[in-house]
C-alpha cells in the first residue's frame, strides 16, 4: 500500500484526522501542539497520525494535500488547513460551523471560551 493509499484510507475511515508531529497526548512541535490543544479542549474525537513515525507518510501527506507544512487537519475527507488556518477558524467560529455542517460533536462552550480568552 502506498503512502497516498494509507492517507486516503485514514481520512475516509475517520471523520476528523490530524496529521501531526507527535501524538495528541504528546505533540512534538508547537504548531502540532496548538492544533491538538484546540481539538482536545473542544472535545473533538479525532484520529492522530504521527508523521515522525513514518517518513513516507510525512512526505506523502504534503504531496497528497499540496500543502508544505505539518500539522494538517482533515474533516470528512476534506483538507481544512494547518496551524494558522485552524487557529483563525477557531477564533472566528468558522471551525464550529464546519463541525456543525459535518455532524462533528464538540463542546460549544469550550469553543466560546477559546474566543473569550483571545478577545479579552
Q: Show the domain range for 89.
A: 3-119
Between residues 27 and 120, the one the model is more confident about: 27
CA distance 61 to 50: 11
Which DSSP symbol is given to 42? T
What integer pLDDT is reported at residue 97 of this predicted model?
98
Residue 32 is part of a domain; what is its CATH number? Answer: 3.40.30.10
The reply to whether 29 sits in an annotated binding site is yes
Over residues 3-44, the pLDDT tens digits come to 999 999 999 999 999 999 999 999 999 999 999 999 999 999
Q: What is the mean pLDDT of residues 91-111?
A: 98
The structural domain count of the chain equals 1
Over residues 45-67, the pLDDT tens digits come to 999 999 999 999 999 999 999 99
Residues 69, 14, 62: CA angle, nearest 5 degrees: 20
Residues 36, 72, 20: CA angle, nearest 5 degrees: 55
Q: What is the mean pLDDT of residues 84-97?
A: 98
What integer pLDDT is reported at residue 120 of this predicted model?
60
Q: Is 62 exposed, middle or buried (0-12, 13-18, 19+ CB in 10 A)?
A: middle
Amino acid at each position: 500500500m502506498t503512502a497516498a493509499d494509507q492517507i486516503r484510507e485514514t481520512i475516509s475511515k475517520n471523520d476528523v484526522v490530524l496529521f501531526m508531529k507527535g501524538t495528541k497526548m504528546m505533540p512534538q512541535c508547537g504548531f502540532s501542539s496548538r492544533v491538538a490543544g484546540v481539538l482536545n479542549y473542544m472535545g473533538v474525537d479525532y484520529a492522530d497520525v504521527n508523521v515522525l513515525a513514518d517518513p513516507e507518510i510525512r512526505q506523502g501527506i504534503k504531496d497528497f494535500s499540496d500543502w508544505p507544512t505539518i500539522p494538517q487537519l482533515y474533516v470528512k475527507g476534506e483538507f481544512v488547513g494547518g496551524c494558522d488556518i485552524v487557529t483563525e477558524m477557531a477564533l472566528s467560529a468558522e471551525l464550529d460551523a464546519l463541525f456543525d455542517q459535518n455532524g462533528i460533536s464538540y463542546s460549544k462552550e469550550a469553543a466560546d471560551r477559546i474566543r473569550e480568552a483571545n478577545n479579552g
